[in-house]
Amino acid sequence: MGSVAATVASMLFSGGCRSLAVPAAGRSLIISRTTLRNHRNKNAPSWCCRSSHNSYTALATESEFSKTDSESLTASTSSDSFPKYDRLLPCPLQKTPPRVEHLVVSEGGPVLEHICKALELPPLYVKDLIQFGAVYYALVCPQPPPTATEEQIRVYKEVTEPSVLRQRASIKGKTVREAQKTFRITHADQFVEPGTYLRVHVHPKRFPRCYEIDWRSRIIAVAESYVVLDKPAGTSVGGTTDNIEESCATFATRALGLTAPLMTTHQIDNCTEGCVVLARTKEYCSVFHGKIRVKKVKKLYRALASSPMPTGIITHYMRPINMAPRLISEDFIKGWHMCQLEIQECRKVPWPTPAIQDKYHVEDCGWPYQDFAYECKINLLTGRTHQLQLRI
């Protein structure tokens, strides 16, 4: 295989989650609760301090929400080995509202017990959240946002007081900033000491398409140091912040019966379908990254446009801020990243039928139906993240 080709899902339907592809001990201080109500602006989540000492009583104000979660989570097995995820699976038919909880531990103990009691969630469900990679910790609580209330500021100052931090052996030799770095909780019985910050993604982003795929049939090549996978649309290559279980790397590893997990070497969007290279060793990750740096990896994309595109090089500029939406401009703006792509071919194709859209779970983006669309073959000259978002 002389090049790594990636078949991109359409620009035409890029707004969807999936797009058309062309071929008991211890207490916690709740310092924040982020739910659907205060998640409308994802870039500026608000903190809702409930209590500094008795988080369980404070949770009563939102007990209906917690009870609904608890009642909908079926704790059907007592196994700790997690051969199957039958508490978070099958995927819900409807999307659950965003819910991220921020806690500060007040008494040392197992992390599972803190979360279960503070958030009133079944132990088996919390174990699955941990297995999904949806629970994080930091030795020291991060600084609250500018919108924080006086009570939230008080809680933060209380647990980050220099005299308090000096007594914690776990952060000796670290700056406060270093101690505020978050890491995934990997074991349900992991001990967390007083002052530890916890972030719990109660409703992980789900990828139900993972369970519809014959993953063994999507394997293109298996070598000693890497695997080439034809990634399905509607899946994540290596997982998300709150879900590393439902990923191409995880399912491809299981399909091949490998004992060591496959590792990502590069990414293509969730809505994109095409070839990805997964490493079997850390050494090959470095090798592949080196090939990308010296442009020995060629990425070819296919995308649908609603109108014909001229062949040749297209240049635009992208705001250098790693957050959505990615702002772009056709005109040069100082400090913005230049993005270039080459349209090598553009051919007329039938407009995707409702059956095709339904097969690939294409969400309605409001595009009016036409007789034809235009399939473009694109060579990326720069590798900026999301540079193909441009609605040409």
Task: Give per-residue pLDDT as tens, 319-365.
Answer: 888 776 778 888 999 999 898 899 999 999 999 888 887 777 676 77
Measure the CA–CA gap between 230 and 23, rounded to whole angstroms: 11
59-63, 80-84, 108-112, 227-231: least confident range: 59-63
Task: List, for residues 144-180, the tens digit of each pLDDT value.
Answer: 888 888 888 888 999 999 999 999 999 999 999 999 9
Q: Set out the domains of the chain in order of their start, with CATH numbers.
A: 28-201 (no CATH), 208-298 (3.30.2350.10), 302-389 (no CATH)
Buried-state track 366-391, b at ≥16 Cβ within 10 A, e below 16: eeeeeeebbbbebebeeebeebbbbe
Is-catalytic flag, 358?
A: no
- What's residue 52's pLDDT? 28
Structure tokens of 59?
């949770």
Percent share of the chain, pLDDT over 90: 50
Say which of 269, 331, 358, 371 is annotated catalytic: 269
Q: What are phi and psi of 105, to 5 degrees?
A: -75, 130
- The string of pLDDT tens digits covering residues 189-209 is 999 999 999 999 999 999 988
Considering the chain, what is the average pLDDT of its residues? 78
